[in-house]
Amino acid sequence: MAAGNSDKSAKKGKAPQDAARLFLEHYYPIHYKAGIGVEDALRGGSLGRHQVAILWLIHSEGHQGRQMNRKAIEKSLSTWFEISGAAITKALRSMAQPPLNLLTMVEDPASGREKIVTLTPKGETHLRKMIAQGTAYVQKIIDPMTDEEILNGLHFFARISVIVDDMK
């Protein structure tokens, strides 16, 4: 990234005119360098990226962090990936069967066509391990940061999440 006047403006507390381009210059490489690193840490060498995303969705958006409607999983995943319903079903089935046994799928009492996906005790344990691995990776990223940088980063990510959700 070229330094120039944009960096000087930012140091004075004023956003540079080309802030969107500068954000893009940082974001895209971060998405692939740090983002893939986080994803690999979460995968732990045993799950695919869609499987990790499913577990994360159940954890972050599911009922009590352990149960979620299959259609809700499909709706959320399709905003993250180009993925078919059949691929989601395949990922769910593989996690429900040996050797993984991370979740169960049962018929939704409100709809015979819908399934409720629930983490098994083994799935809950795996999810805790997955989060610990991801946390350890992110800790390596934030270790060299000051408290102020960490707090600003947390605020920044929280604001981006709200803004992107509002754009939908």
State pLDDT tens for residues 114-159: 999 999 999 999 999 999 999 999 999 999 999 999 999 999 999 9
**pTM: predicted TM-score of the whole model, two decimal places:** 0.83
What percent of the chain has a predicted confidence (pLDDT) above 90? 77
Q: What is the pLDDT of residue 9?
A: 46
State pLDDT tens for residues 61-96: 999 999 999 999 999 998 888 899 999 999 999 999
Q: What is the pLDDT of residue 80?
A: 85
Q: What is the pLDDT of residue 110?
A: 86
CATH for the stretch 42-167: 1.10.10.10
Q: How confident is the model at residue 6 (pLDDT cuts 50, 70, 90)?
A: very low
Instruction: Report in angstroms the alpha-carbon separations of 133 from 2, 32, 42, 64, 119.
Output: 35, 18, 6, 21, 19
3-state secondary structure the chain: CCCHHHHHHHHCCCCCCCHHHHHHHHHHHHHHHHHHHHHHHHHCCCCCHHHHHHHHHHHHHCECCCEEEHHHHHHHHHHHCCCCHHHHHHHHHHHHCCCCCCEEEEEECCEEEEEEEEECHHHHHHHHHHHHHHHHHHHHHHCCCCHHHHHHHHHHHHHHHHHHHHHC
State pLDDT tens for residues 21-69: 999 999 999 988 999 999 999 999 889 999 999 999 999 999 999 999 9
State how far the Cα of 91 lies from the Cα of 120, in Å rounded to an integer. 16
With beta carbons less than 8 A apart as the criterion, state whether 112 and 104 touch: no
